[in-house]
Copies of this chain bind each other. A is one copy, B any other.
């Protein structure tokens, strides 16, 4: 740049990008020298929120200033996620500016002070969230203010509509379009990877988007990703569904209810799942995906997400009322949430369970199969013209004669090619300390073992549980095997298991 060009660039707050290679996970950060003319003229300091624009794209990022010679006076850098969001490359120019005041925060404050939010207020908040204008602190305040039963039905309806409205929408030109959702909390509950091929093989349309893990060791998208690509854009997703009748893709890649994916980022460290937020999260995705009929599986158990029949009834009622208000037909299906489903907990290990069921291996976990057949049957009854009570039989036949397995392979291939789930390099087995009968399994702490072993970020990690409730065991008999990609993670998981021998409680024989 000439001196004149440089002066003009500064006047317009234009900086040249240099890559430092700093990964802040999901948080967009922009780096500039504290002494650079732009920061000095604008009075920008560390933690200032800035608009960073690059061509047609712009994001809001938090400023970190550099105090040494890491960056020159005309240079800016970005955290890795910000490079990706902007589609920017080394040497590109970006323009920096003050963001407009975040007016919708007044609604968050109103909610903190127990006021009801109307449709316009909810929409304004969700629009700002989807546009990335809320910092983690703002998001945490919004999530907290909405938790603890502080949203009434109208507010949840408004939240559901707003979350669907601010993203893309799919339309299929025909009904029914079906979907399912399992309220989480039950490790290994990978029925989606069975229900979609069964229902699609039956002939229904099921455009399934799944999430990655929030607080669990694996989400369906994490498990599916170990056997096929799941990061498809909306066009690619539509092609798969039009060809095969169904898909299982990652919701985060197709801007269906994009605010949800942002909100989840703070729910994870807070470990808060509010009922209203949960209902809006689930139903906004279905609404945006163009679904008409949705079966919702609610596992109930003392260490599942829903802990009592009363809580299930309350959640079910809210789901039904909000569903009706936004035009979705909802069928609820409570299930036993006392223990993990299948053997595997962790992305690859859960995918292996699914493949065993589809391939009708004798070792396939029966509970996972039965749950999937039940849910697929509900969908087929609800939307497929099959009489009540006959759906499970139809679903079982589709699974039993190999049509579901053929369909999953076809779906995986349509999504970009099927592959084998990875295997962990390090394993270690936890054994029964004494003989007896398996009396209780703590899903939450068992999930914690799997997370300490590296799941879901390391897809091969997690654990295999061999002893469902009621199993008789001898001292020294394997209870579960921990899988890990790194020795440090294996050690952390085992240390936690060692400190918590009652994760799997063995009742002494009387």
Distance to closest chain B CB from A10 (angstroms): 10
User: Which residues of the other chain, B, contact A24 by a CB distance below 8 angstroms?
Assistant: 46-47, 64
Distance to closest chain B CB from A135 (angstroms): 6
Is A64 within 8 A of B144, CB to CB? no
A214 interfacial by beta-carbon distance below 8 Å: no
A389 interfacial by beta-carbon distance below 8 Å: no
- From 277 to 291 in chain A, residues with beta carbon under 8 angstroms from any chain B beta carbon are none
Using a CB–CB distance below 8 Å, which chain A residues touch chain B? 19-27, 31, 34, 40-43, 45-47, 64-70, 79-80, 98, 105, 108-109, 112-114, 135-141, 143-145, 147-149, 266, 269-272, 454, 457-458, 484-489, 492
Distance to closest chain B CB from A42 (angstroms): 4
Can you report 6 A-B residue pairs in the complex whose CB atoms are below 8 A from each other? A20-B68, A21-B67, A21-B70, A25-B46, A43-B492, A64-B79
Q: How far is the CA of A113 from the CA of B143 in the complex (A)?
A: 12
Distance to closest chain B CB from A486 (angstroms): 5
Distance to closest chain B CB from A94 (angstroms): 17
Is B66 within 8 A of A22, CB to CB? yes
Is B47 within 8 A of A148, CB to CB? no
Is A67 within 8 A of B137, CB to CB? no
Minimum-distance CB pairs A-B, first 7: A21-B68, A140-B140, A41-B488, A144-B144, A25-B46, A25-B47, A43-B489
User: Which of A79, A137, A138, A139 gathers the greatest number of chain B CB atoms within 10 Å?
Assistant: A137
> Could you list 5 further interchain pairs (A-B, Cβ under 8 angstroms) beyond the known A22-B65, A113-B148, A137-B140?
A20-B70, A25-B45, A112-B147, A137-B269, A138-B269
Query: Could you say which of B31, B43, B47, B272 contacts A485, with CB atoms under 8 Å apart?
Result: B43
Query: Could you say which of B47, B70, B109, B270 contacts A271, with CB atoms under 8 Å apart?
Result: B109
User: Which residues of the other chain, B, contact A271 by a CB distance below 8 angstroms?
Assistant: 105, 109
Is A487 within 8 A of B135, CB to CB? no
Is B23 within 8 A of A64, CB to CB? yes
Q: How far is the CA of A143 from the CA of B109 in the complex (A)?
A: 12
Copies of this protein, total: 2
Q: Looking across the interface, which residue of chain B has its beta carbon closest to that of A147? A: B112
User: Which residues of the other chain, B, contact A64 by a CB distance below 8 angstroms?
Assistant: 22-24, 79
Query: Could you say which of B43, B140, B141, B484 contacts A454, with CB atoms under 8 Å apart?
Result: B43
User: Which of A79, A144, A148, A271 gathers the greatest number of chain B CB atoms within 10 Å?
Assistant: A144
Q: How far is the CA of A141 from the CA of B270 in the complex (A)?
A: 8
Q: How far is the CA of A158 from the CA of B112 in the complex (A)?
A: 22
Query: Could you say which of B25, B66, B69, B137 contacts A270, with CB atoms under 8 Å apart?
Result: B137
User: Which residues of the other chain, B, contact A143 by a CB distance below 8 angstroms?
Assistant: 141
Q: How far is the CA of A112 from the CA of B42 in the complex (A)?
A: 39
Is B140 within 8 A of A141, CB to CB? yes
Q: How far is the CA of A31 from the CA of B80 in the complex (A)?
A: 14
Q: How far is the CA of A23 from the CA of B108 in the complex (A)?
A: 29
Q: Looking across the interface, which residue of chain B has its beta carbon closest to that of A461? A: B43
Query: Could you say which of B66, B135, B489 contacts A21, with CB atoms under 8 Å apart?
Result: B66
User: Which residues of the other chain, B, contact A47 by a CB distance below 8 angstroms?
Assistant: 24-27
- Known contacts A42-B489, A457-B45, A489-B43; is A272 also within 8 Å of B25 by CB? no
Distance to closest chain B CB from A64 (angstroms): 5
Q: How far is the CA of A67 from the CA of B23 in the complex (A)?
A: 7
Is B147 within 8 A of A113, CB to CB? yes
User: Which residues of the other chain, B, contact A454 by a CB distance below 8 angstroms?
Assistant: 43
Distance to closest chain B CB from A369 (angstroms): 32
User: Which residues of the other chain, B, contact A26 by a CB distance below 8 angstroms?
Assistant: 47
User: Which residues of the other chain, B, contact A80 by a CB distance below 8 angstroms?
Assistant: 67
Distance to closest chain B CB from A75 (angstroms): 14
User: Which residues of the other chain, B, contact A148 by a CB distance below 8 angstroms?
Assistant: 112-114, 145
Is B66 within 8 A of A23, CB to CB? yes
User: Which of A24, A26, A487 gathers the greatest number of chain B CB atoms within 10 Å?
Assistant: A24
- Known contacts A20-B66, A112-B147, A141-B144; is A457 also within 8 Å of B43 by CB? yes
Query: Could you say which of B31, B108, B272 contacts A112, with CB atoms under 8 Å apart?
Result: B272
Q: How far is the CA of A69 from the CA of B21 in the complex (A)?
A: 8
Distance to closest chain B CB from A213 (angstroms): 13
Q: Looking across the interface, which residue of chain B has its beta carbon closest to that of A38? A: B488
- Known contacts A137-B136, A141-B140; is A488 also within 8 Å of B66 by CB? no
Q: Looking across the interface, which residue of chain B has its beta carbon closest to that of A11? A: B488
